Amino acid sequence: ANAAGKQIGLVIDLTATQKYYDPREWTDSGIKYEKIWCTGHHLHVQMENIQKFYNIVSDFLSKYIHTGQLIGVHCTHGLNRTGYMICRYLIEVDGWDVNNAIEQFEYCRGYKIERKNYIDSLRNDCVRGKYASLSVKYPGKPSDGIINKQLAQLKNVLPCIDLNEFAAAI
């Protein structure tokens, strides 16, 4: 992130373990850290975790969007749970089209979401704009189907971060 002139302000850990690192590595550096215990393969039915993710992201954005800080989201491989949560947020909170959300994530991440059940859930279970009241408005916000400069920069940011496939930023 630093190589691209960006700073991470929040890390959301979606793993179901504590073995990868000590969260104090983030918090001691002034970076906020949130843990959402998500088991793999079945995240799409863990509504409490999905709602918690929405609230954490929206709360951070409402307080810190003016700083330009990024939100780092990761799971074990930085792909399936991470992609699912980010796409679902874009669809249900920010009102994005399902296909555009998936395409944007996969473009920025550089890999496709592999879990068919997650893709199916995004296509069949998500209600576009269902939680629009949580959406945070700000100048230059990426909109449905548009890769703006900030999102395009993420493709260059992500390979620079080596945290067991540190995944993406919203």
Sheet of strand 32-35, all strands in order from the earlier edge strand to the far edge: 32-35, 8-13, 70-74, 168-169
3 state DSSP class of 32: strand
Select which of 24, 38, 75, 87 is catalytic.
Answer: 75
Query: Tens digit of pLDDT for each residue in 4-55?
Result: 667 899 999 999 888 888 999 999 999 999 999 998 887 778 899 999 999 9
Query: Tens digit of pLDDT for each residue in 79-138?
Result: 899 999 999 999 999 999 999 999 999 988 888 999 999 999 999 999 999 999 999 877
Contact 146, 108 (CB under 8 A): no
Contact 32, 56 (CB under 8 A): no
Beta strands in 14-152 (DSSP E): 32-35, 70-74
The pTM for the full model equals 0.81
How many whole angstroms separate alpha carbon 79 and alpha carbon 105? 9
75 is catalytic: yes
Q: Which amino acid, 123?
A: R
126 is catalytic: no
Select which of 38, 81, 109, 126 is catalytic.
Answer: 81
CATH number 3.90.190.10 is the correct assignment for the domain at 2-169: yes
Half-sphere exposure at residue 116, Cβ-oriented, CA atoms within 13 angstroms: 0
Domain ranges of the chain: 2-169
How many other C-beta atoms are found inside a 10 Å radius of the C-beta of residue 133? Answer: 8
How many whole angstroms separate alpha carbon 147 and alpha carbon 102? 12
Half-sphere exposure at residue 142, Cβ-oriented, CA atoms within 13 angstroms: 24
